[in-house]
A = this chain, B = another copy of it.
Amino acid sequence: MDGVRQSPGVEGGAQPGDGLSAVLVDDHPVVRAGLRAMLSEDPKIRVVAEAADGKAALDVVARLVTEGLRPDLVLMDLQMGEGMDGVAATRQLRQQCPGLPVLILTTYDTEADILAAVEAGASGYMLKDAAPEEIHRAVHDAAAGRTALAPAVAARLMGRMRDDSTSLSTREVELLELLATGLSNQQIARQLFISVATVKTHLVHIYQKLGADNRTAAVRVASERGIIRA
């Protein structure tokens, strides 16, 4: 198992206009099988290749392109056990193949994940608990160049905009991430090239915004709300 697999019949050729050709990237065989089955319900969608991690995805897409079989979109998982991360793969894919839509399909809807994916150039963000119809629609939307966001994801992004009292500044999120790694105020200060006093100031603000009364609770709340990744 090399992590790359082309579906049989790829060589048949992908005439433009005869449907959408998609590449699946997910480290779980079960999920790939599920997506394949789910997408096969839509006659307009064809899965032309699969990959089990980011690196393999880049390879297989490159191979398809050199063969003149440029896919219409990539369905990408974010969390992949080994090998290249989904965000990194998305970023590189967007560099190698500008215009190739990457639709993220993952389990988690943390703020950090979503923002990272959007920043990396993802054209959509769906959750795995979505119904088949939603996924079909998202695939068509993404392939057509439209943005496809799951309701929960859109809501979270909206929530980030409006609620001022709960929204952390970028600096605060940055600090929070270091906090989650177990660093002391001293270490955080050194890491960010600021004084311990500043760290404490930020922490107080973070506690207020998250409704926590100590660092561990803050990390927990942030993790639950999806502000940082567990």
A127 nearest in chain B by CB position: B28
Pairwise interchain contact B184-A30, C-beta atoms closer than 8 A: no
Residues of B near A184 (CB, < 8 A) are: 214
- CB of A202 closer than 8 Å to a CB of B: no
- CB of A48 closer than 8 Å to a CB of B: no
A36-B37, A37-B36, A129-B81 known; A181+B31 contact, CB < 8 A: no
A40 to B35, CA, bound (A): 15
A184 to B216, CA, bound (A): 9
Residues of B near A183 (CB, < 8 A) are: 216-217
- CB of A212 closer than 8 Å to a CB of B: yes
- CB of A130 closer than 8 Å to a CB of B: yes
Chief secondary structure at chain A's binding surface: helix
Q: Size of chain A's interface in residues, with CB distance under 8 A?
A: 39
Residues of B near A230 (CB, < 8 A) are: 223, 230
Residues of B near A220 (CB, < 8 A) are: 180-182
Contact code string A27-39 (vs B, CB < 8 Å = 1, else 0): 1111111111110
Residues of B near A132 (CB, < 8 A) are: 29, 33
- CB of A62 closer than 8 Å to a CB of B: no
A30 nearest in chain B by CB position: B34
Pairwise interchain contact B29-A130, C-beta atoms closer than 8 A: yes
Residue from B1, B129, B216 within 8 A of A28 (CB atoms): B129
Residues of B near A31 (CB, < 8 A) are: 30-31, 34, 128
A35-B34, A131-B29 known; A216+B217 contact, CB < 8 A: no
Residues of B near A217 (CB, < 8 A) are: 181-183
Q: Give the 8 A-B CB pairs with smallest separation, nearest first.
A: A182-B217, A34-B34, A230-B230, A33-B34, A30-B34, A182-B216, A37-B37, A33-B37
Between A and B, 12 residue pairs with Cβ closer than 8 Å are A29-B129, A30-B34, A30-B38, A33-B33, A33-B34, A37-B37, A179-B216, A181-B216, A181-B220, A182-B214, A182-B219, A219-B219
